[in-house]
């Protein structure tokens, strides 16, 4: 299973080996990595919690759970979900908005208490 740590979790992990590192350095590094496409920032499902980060920038789907967890959808299901996106709908979206879709980032949001 993949990890989707917060900046504070990464800071705590790195601080053990690099005691002089600052939290600002971790945030700045994560911003640079996400801007350059080397990691993915995943905002919290509630909008009030911390973002999480994913080093896997390949195509896959995330489930954002209301308790703050982020889970990867199993690879085979991710591929099927992304493949099922209707090309005609994406084409219409591009035409109507005057844009070119270059990547799809799909997030599913779930309640932790309901199964």
Q: What is the pLDDT of residues 9-20, one digit of tens each?
A: 999 999 999 999
Predicted TM-score (pTM) above 0.85: no
The CA distance from 98 to 101, in Å, is: 10
How does residue 1 score in pLDDT terms, banded at 50, 70 and 90? very low
The secondary structure of 10-49, three-state, reads HHHHHHCCCCCCCHHHHHHHHHHHHHCCCCEEECCCCCCC
The CA distance from 87 to 72, in Å, is: 24
The CA distance from 50 to 7, in Å, is: 8
User: Domains of the chain: which residue ranges?
Assistant: 7-110
Instruction: Convert 52-67 to b/e letters by CB count within 10 Å (16 or more is b).
Output: bbbeeeeebbbebbee
């Amino acid at each position: 299973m993949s990890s989707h740590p917060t900046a504070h979790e990464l800071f705590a992990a790195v601080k053990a080996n690099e005691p002089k590192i600052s939290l600002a350095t971790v945030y700045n590094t994560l911003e640079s990595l996400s801007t350059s496409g080397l990691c993915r920032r995943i905002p919290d499902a509630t909008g009030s919690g911390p973002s999480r980060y994913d080093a896997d920038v390949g195509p896959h789907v995330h489930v954002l759970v209301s308790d703050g967890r982020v889970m990867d959808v199993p690879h085979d299901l991710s591929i099927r979900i992304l493949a099922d996106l209707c090309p005609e709908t994406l084409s219409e979206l591009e035409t109507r908005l005057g844009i070119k879709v270059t990547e799809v980032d799909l997030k599913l949001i779930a309640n932790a208490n309901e199964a």
